[in-house]
Amino acid sequence: MSEEKRRHPRIGLSSAAALVAPAEGGYLTRVEDVSAGGARVARPALWPDEVGDDHAQAYKLFFIFDQDTVLAVRARLVRAGPDHLAFVFDSGQDLVVDELLYESRFLSQQ
């Protein structure tokens, strides 16, 4: 068995949506898990095969819990897998990340 290397525990989600917004446009997708350091979302069907070598591209992730609860977090893409995208949150957003983790508790998979 391999040792877990993640710094933050993950919270699995099944019913939260996310809008992944690069500089222009956006992609609606499903949140797979979140942590204090980042998030993994399902790869949108229309996501480009090549996002370029610039993984430092800024994104804004809009986590949609319900019509009244939408949280925006700045992030950077760190991995584009065949079925998921992995983002690391930019620093300096502790309050919104804490709120994201709080809201995620209500939707977490048991």
DSSP string, 21-44: E-SS--EEEEEEEE-SSEEEEEPP
Query: What does the pLDDT profile of the chain (110 residues) look like in tens digits?
Result: 455 555 655 555 555 677 888 877 899 999 998 999 999 999 999 988 776 555 567 899 999 888 888 999 999 999 999 999 999 999 999 999 999 999 888 776 54
Beta bridge partners of 34: 11, 39
Is the model's pTM score more than 0.85? no
- Structural class in CATH, domain 11-44+56-105: mainly beta
For the record, the structure tokens of 8 come out as 């933050």
